[in-house]
Amino acid sequence: MDAIIPLLTDPAAWAALITLIAMEVVLGIDNLIFISILSNKLPEAQRQFARRLGISLALIMRLALLSTLAWLVHLTAPIFSVGGSLAGLDLTFSWRDLILIAGGLFLLWKATKEIHGTMDPKPADFLDKTGVVVTNFGAVIVQIILIDMVFSIDSILTAVGMTDHLPIMIVAVIITVMIMLLAADPLANFINNNPSVVMLALGFLLMIGMILVADGFGVHIPKGYIYAAMAFSVGVEALNIMARNAKTKKESQAGH
């Protein structure tokens, strides 16, 4: 408590908290898109529970990692090297690098599999009454846990790099996860109601997977460029949705 009270009156601490929350929300969007796409493949009655469980697990993982900061810092320490540097790639790897590479490859595999399934659905897949492919609940939760772990490590290492104050990190993580909980259902419903957005979201996951792999190999792509491209894509898709809705409304009025 004695360490927290000075932070409450420190403008720099508040500025760090606001900045960190903004960064964590941006990083959390990637996590939320993945959870939304996976949960939408479940029967409708299980979707909300799966999303809330996935986000709750993300919170638990982040808080658990914050409680082991001394161990977490060692994740960035080099553990082995493969012949130095090649073609601009840093071939010295830490545990963080290996986790990012594994997580990126998992995202690439999962997004590619989902895109293939969307374009060429298997007749054997079990469909619900709305024609949505129904997936095993346990399989979805396991996949959410795996990707939560990757995004949690990336999120906490970002927090560690922005502030030295543990209370600020904890508050930022809790607020971010609360925002994710509030945004989860609207985002998942929007993705489910707009099929073209599913493909856009899967494209984002492919890009995020490539970024994680590149980061693991020491190629650091500025996040600002990535999120600017994502925002532009979302803007274009929003215009497409408005155009389709206007056309549908016009055709409906003409029919009457």
Average pLDDT, the chain: 77
C-alpha to C-alpha distance for 228 and 248, rounded to whole angstroms: 30
For residue 77, what pLDDT band results from cuts at 50, 70 and 90? confident
Query: For residue 1, is pLDDT > 70?
Result: no
Segment of 107-116, 131-140, 179-188, 217-226 carrying the highest mean pLDDT = 179-188
Position 210 pLDDT exceeds 60: yes
Residue 183 CA to residue 30 CA, distance in Å, equals 13
Q: Are 83 and 97 in contact (CB under 8 A)?
A: no
- Is the distance from CB of 121 to CB of 227 less than 8 angstroms? no
Quick one: pLDDT at residue 87?
Answer: 53
DSSP per-residue string spanning 41-60: TS-HHHHHHHHHHHHHHHHH
- Model confidence pLDDT, tens digit, residues 238-247: 888 888 888 8
* Owner of token pair 């259902």: 185
CA–CA separation, 204 vs 206, rounded Å?
5
